[in-house]
Amino acid sequence: MFIVSAKEMYEIDRYTMHEIGLKSVLMENAGRAVSEKLRTHITHQDEVVVLSGGGHNGGDGFVVARTLHNLAYHVTVLQVVPDEKLVDETRQQKTLLQKCGGKITTVDLASNSQCLSSASVIVDAITGLGIKGHLRSPMTDIVYEVNQSEAFVCAIDMPSGLPADEGMDDFTAVNADMTVMIGAIKESACVQETAPFYGAWELVHIGHPTQAFAPIKSRVVFDDADFKRTMPELKRHAHKGDHGRGLLIGGSDFMPGAVVLAGKAALKTGAGLLTVASTNQVIRQVANHCAEAMYIELPEQHGQIMPNNHLAMERFDAVAIGVGLGRQKEAGTFVASIVRTAECPLIIDADGIFHLSTCLKEVKERSYPTIITPHPGEMSRLLDIDTKTLLKKPFYYSRKLAEMYDMYVILKGKSTIITMPSGEQAVDVTGNPGLAKGGSGDVLTGIILAMVIQDQSVFQALCNACFLHGRSADLQVQQSHTVYDLMATDVINGIPMVYRTLCLS
């Protein structure tokens, strides 16, 4: 599933309509596809009001109205612009609805509230992708009425008034319960500031040819089908060395749980051999939970790890450092030494990211992949910007950081953005509010370590890791937990169900 900007979507539509010649087909396909999705949410007792504008989004609305009208639903179109503002294709769709006996009312603000107040379902087909700048009156008045209504609101392609691109936070937009996106996922659906306006969204394909997507930036949403297709298949006669050797460095006497969670997650994900490097006290606690792991005792002072310049890392396929490490100066020195000496993929999380700003130059000079997993606060600190600025343009800043220091960046959030050093990006949209608890990030680090040491590219490993983490949380909530009681250990315990559901089906 491609993620596109407004400009890219316009070009995709232009190519399909004018180069391929599917101009009249797209609108019909879009309206029918939206109708099919909408029918699962409405009944024949509902009063459906379709708000149609003058552009192609409004034409999609007329097709939805005709389709539902012909299926005996109660549908009224509220046309929010005069006839002279209808584009040709939308005017044609209005004529078809009229010939079928459909009901159409041109907007009159005096009767507008009454029309919407009787609706149990509102279909937003006012502007969609066609918005340029801010909505003006009377559109803003109509949007206000929609948002005040208790009706179920379904937006076509995207909520009217909402920017398709990241970077805007000053707008008036429909707050939809559901959005049926057409052709590709709009960038703002993956941005924290704008994603809530979409409600629950689904993507429908209406006939855009594959070659229409070729020129766009490489950004995709990673889904179930991608996970099933890309997860490495284990060889029948494999041995433990074939499934990778991982080293997990972290923990302190005051934060032993972080390493326990990361270690258990790595083993449950499928790491062939896992070694935990930590203090003596942490190792004892990890051993009680991870009998399958091996251990390296590190020098310590007052329960905190001290730098170790003699840590042998050449026998490992990947190293993860940072979980529970602490923020003392000595920990920062240790992180910097690992960055310089690890001759394998290096995953840096949690307190490791806190210390990273002092050794970013060394990160860029590394000959092996470096992976960081910041939350927005950690990433804004690395970029020396405020978190609000970052969250307005997460795609842009993720790409900037990855390209600047030649590293892989996983910006954690409801829509987790995974970025390659080359700028290629993927988004994981799995997961639920139950993950917003301490320990969830430690579990993700363990999963990433296990995935990176498997037989797949680093980028593919990161996509699979983020997906596995979020999908496990989703399945746990669906089957036996709630978002309130879900804990990081539950996410680890849910990993087998993801494998059984998607890899063995």
Same domain, 321 and 175: no
Q: Are 321 and 338 contacting, i.e. CB atoms less than 8 angstroms apart?
A: yes
DSSP 411-452: E-SSSEEEE-TTS-EEEE----GGG-STTHHHHHHHHHHHHH
Encoding tokens for residue 237? 């006669």
Domain residues for 338?
Answer: 226-230+240-503
Residue 46: inside a domain, yes or no? Answer: yes
Helices (H), 275-386: 280-289, 329-341, 351-354, 360-365, 376-383
Residue at which a domain ends, from 150, 183, 216: 216
Residue 221: inside a domain, yes or no? Answer: no
Evaluated on CA atoms 248, 470, 422, 381, the torsion sign reads negative
Q: 288-302, pLDDT tens digit by residue? A: 999 999 999 999 999
Residue 469: inside a domain, yes or no? Answer: yes
d(C-alpha 58, C-alpha 384), whole Å: 43
Q: Please check the confidence at residue 163 and state whether its pLDDT lies above 90.
A: yes
Evaluated on CA atoms 89, 91, 95, 96, the torsion sign reads positive
Residue 345: inside a domain, yes or no? Answer: yes
Q: Which residue has the tokens 């995953």?
A: 347
Number of domains in the chain: 2
pLDDT of residue 108: 67
CATH code of the domain containing 386: 3.40.1190.20
Same domain, 384 and 492: yes
d(C-alpha 374, C-alpha 390), whole Å: 12
For the purposes of burial, counting CB atoms within 10 Å of the CB of 312, is it exposed (0-12), middle (13-18) or buried (19 or more)? exposed
The pairing of strands 408-411 and 300-301 is: unpaired
DSSP 70-111: HTT-EEEEEE-S-GGG--HHHHHHHHHHHHTT-EEEE--HHH
pLDDT of residue 241: 85
At 201, the pLDDT band (50, 70, 90 cuts) reads very high
d(C-alpha 223, C-alpha 337), whole Å: 37
CATH code of the domain containing 49: 3.40.50.10260
Residue 332: inside a domain, yes or no? Answer: yes
Q: Which residue has the tokens 């691109």?
A: 165
Same domain, 446 and 314: yes
Residue 473: inside a domain, yes or no? Answer: yes
Q: Are 202 and 432 contacting, i.e. CB atoms less than 8 angstroms apart?
A: no
Q: Are 346 and 338 contacting, i.e. CB atoms less than 8 angstroms apart?
A: yes
Measured from the Cβ of residue 133, the count of other Cβ atoms closer than 10 Å reads: 8
Residue at which a domain ends, from 184, 216, 248: 216
- Tell me the average pLDDT across 40-47: 96
- Tell me the average pLDDT across 8-15: 94
Same domain, 328 and 378: yes
pLDDT of residue 505: 64
Same domain, 69 and 209: yes
**Burial annotation 454-471 (CB, 10 A radius, 16+ → b, else e):** bebebbbbbbbbbbbbbb
pLDDT of residue 113: 55
- Tell me the average pLDDT across 311-322: 94
**Among residues 375, 355, 397, which one has the least CA distance to residue 444?**
375
Phi/psi region, residue 503 (left: phi>0; alpha: psi -120 to 50; beta: rest), is alpha
Residue 38: inside a domain, yes or no? Answer: yes
Same domain, 189 and 286: no
Residue 235: inside a domain, yes or no? Answer: no
Rounded to 10 deg, the angle between the 256-269 and 488-498 helix axes is: 0
pLDDT of residue 235: 82
Same domain, 91 and 196: yes
Query: Among residues of the chain, what percentage have pLDDT more than 70?
Result: 98
**Among residues 495, 476, 494, 395, which one has the least CA distance to residue 432?**
476
Same domain, 196 and 281: no
Long-range contacts of the stretch 87-93 (C-beta < 8 A, 24+): 87/54, 87/55, 87/56, 87/59, 89/23, 89/24, 89/27, 89/56, 89/59, 90/52, 90/54, 90/55, 90/56, 90/58, 90/59, 90/62, 92/59, 93/27, 93/31, 93/59, 93/62, 93/63, 93/66
Q: 232-275, pLDDT tens digit by residue? A: 988 888 888 889 999 999 999 899 999 999 999 999 999 999 99
Same domain, 204 and 288: no
DSSP letter at 243?
A: G
Residue at which a domain ends, from 216, 251, 282: 216
Q: Which residue has the tokens 């920062």?
A: 332
Same domain, 201 and 287: no
Q: 109-141, pLDDT tens digit by residue? A: 555 556 688 899 999 999 988 677 788 887 888
Measured from the Cβ of residue 162, the count of other Cβ atoms closer than 10 Å reads: 27
Same domain, 208 and 316: no
Q: Are 491 and 473 contacting, i.e. CB atoms less than 8 angstroms apart?
A: yes
pLDDT of residue 109: 53
Residue 138, preceding bond cis, omega within 30 degrees? yes
Phi/psi region, residue 149 (left: phi>0; alpha: psi -120 to 50; beta: rest), is beta
Same domain, 209 and 253: no
